Amino acid sequence: MSTNTRYVRIAGWGKALPRESVTNAALEGRVDTTDEWIRARTGIQERRIAGPGETTSTLATEAATAAMQRAGITAEDLDLVMVATCTPDYASMPSTASLVQDALHARRAGAFDLNAVCSGFVYALATASQFVLSGAYRNVLVIGAETFTRILDWQDRSTCVLFGDGAGAVVLQSTEQPGGLLSFVLGSDGSGACSLYVPAGGSREPTTAETVAERKHYVKMQGREVFRFATRIVPESVSQTLDRAGLVPGDIDLLIPHQANVRIIDAAVKRLGIDESKVFTNVQRYGNTSAASIPLALCEALDDGLIVPGDLIVMAGFGAGLSWATAAWRWQG
């Protein structure tokens, strides 16, 4: 019999979005594309684009502030700040988490970034939960934040129409109330690294005038390969995660998949055999916000009253790496 009396709960949540919203129609004037193409292939209708002064750390700080307020804690209560991002304020150092820790005045907190690209938030949630479940920490801030539009090539219509910026944050807290994280799966297949990557600017190909001229500091994607991978891995990892908790797809109250494309979500939902009404989507309004997409969706589902105590939520991320991460979470309220 389990003697565990320590669980992890989401005590607060918050989001932040850039002010500027750009519709597909507005993009038609910027690149060779159409509203019809974007809607039909992805479901996306508009996305937020960070303006001057808006960065990954400013969005993360705004989302974190809202999450702490809802949790009823102050920055002094925080033990750790984790930021899941692949678009940090600075390319290599310092971490975006350190900037957020400073902006919040979270003097007692450690801080680090975690990069698993679009799987990053679920990776961070599972990692942060271990600090709470082990008893090491009481209050951990987990943020998914991106300014993905800063690495987009506006001359590449196959990628630039897909992404947007934003941030979502949760405060994880230690509790005696059963529930919280039930099971998770973290996965990687690095053989697919070049399906979705930024070729230059790292140790393999440092930035030079040539790499910039060749536009190698922007994201490159083999869209069809990523599509095939995503439609296979989401149902697989959701089933595996549920299996680890002794659950089945029919037990899910709300599936929150990474918001990349409605066609990927629809295909995954069909394979899992779950009802469409149990799936949350907001990709239509924000595009693919990478590590921010799942916490943004979670915040909106909670704010819309779609999650009640006792509900089983499944969050499923996938993306560059290639990587994937799924977590089953029993909502305690």
Single-letter residue type at 301: A
Report the alpha-carbon distance of residue 85 to residue 60 in Å, rounded.
10
Query: Is position 97 an interface residue for ligand ACO (rule: CB under 6 A)?
Result: no
**Which member of 16, 99, 186, 226 binds ligand ACO (CB under 6 A)?**
226
Query: Is position 45 an interface residue for ligand ACO (rule: CB under 6 A)?
Result: no
Nearest CB to ligand ACO, comparing residues 41 and 217? 41
Report the alpha-carbon distance of residue 310 to residue 333 in Å, rounded.
8
Query: Is position 197 an interface residue for ligand ACO (rule: CB under 6 A)?
Result: no
Annotation marks residue 217 as catalytic: no
- Exactly one of 24, 86, 288, 299 is catalytic; name it: 288
Annotation marks residue 258 as catalytic: yes
Binding segment for ligand ACO among 3-11, 136-144, 153-161, 165-173 (CB under 6 A)? Answer: 153-161
Q: How far is the CB of 247 from ligand ACO (least distance, A)?
A: 26
Compose the 277-306 pattern: x for residues touching ligand ACO by CB under 6 A, - for all others.
-----------x-x----------------
Nearest CB to ligand ACO, comparing residues 205 and 266? 266
Query: Is position 223 an interface residue for ligand ACO (rule: CB under 6 A)?
Result: yes
Report the alpha-carbon distance of residue 218 to residue 198 in Å, rounded.
6
Q: What angle is formed at CA 93 by the lines to CA 118 and CA 10, rounded to 5 degrees?
A: 45
**Which member of 37, 188, 197, 271 binds ligand ACO (CB under 6 A)?**
37
Nearest CB to ligand ACO, comparing residues 196 and 238? 196
Q: How far is the CB of 170 from ligand ACO (least distance, A)?
A: 20
- Closest chain position to ligand ACO (CB): 319
Binding segment for ligand ACO among 37-45, 167-175, 233-241, 300-308 (CB under 6 A)? Answer: 37-45
Report the alpha-carbon distance of residue 319 to residue 106 in Å, rounded.
31
Annotation marks residue 299 as catalytic: no
Is the CB of residue 238 less than 8 Å from the CB of residue 255?
yes
Nearest CB to ligand ACO, comparing residues 87 and 127? 87
- Exactly one of 86, 139, 258, 261 is catalytic; name it: 258
Q: How far is the CB of 32 from ligand ACO (least distance, A)?
A: 7
| HEC assignment per residue over the chain | CCCCCCEEEEEEEEEECCCEEEEHHHHHCCCCCCHHHHHHHHCCCEEEECCCCCCHHHHHHHHHHHHHHHHCCCHHHCCEEEEECCCCCCCCCCCHHHHHHHHHCCCCCEEEEECCHHHHHHHHHHHHHHHHHCCCCCEEEEEEEEEHHHHCCCCCHHHHCCECEEEEEEEEEEECCCCEEEEEEEEECHHHHHHEECCCCCCCCCCCHHHHHCCCCCCEECHHHHHHHHHHHHHHHHHHHHHHCCCCHHHCCEEEECCCCHHHHHHHHHHHCCCHHHECCCHHHHCECHHHHHHHHHHHHHHCCCCCCCCEEEEEEEECCCEEEEEEEECCC
**Which member of 261, 281, 289, 326 binds ligand ACO (CB under 6 A)?**
261
**The tokens 């988490």 sit on which residue?**
97
Nearest CB to ligand ACO, comparing residues 37 and 112? 37
- Exactly one of 24, 86, 115, 118 is catalytic; name it: 118
Contacts to ligand ACO from residues 160-179, by CB under 6 A: 161
Size of residue set near ligand ACO by CB under 6 A: 23
Footprint on this chain of ligand ACO (rule: CB under 6 A): 33, 37, 41-42, 117-118, 157-158, 161, 196, 221, 223-224, 226-227, 230, 260-261, 264, 288, 290, 319-320
Please list the active-site residues.
118, 258, 288
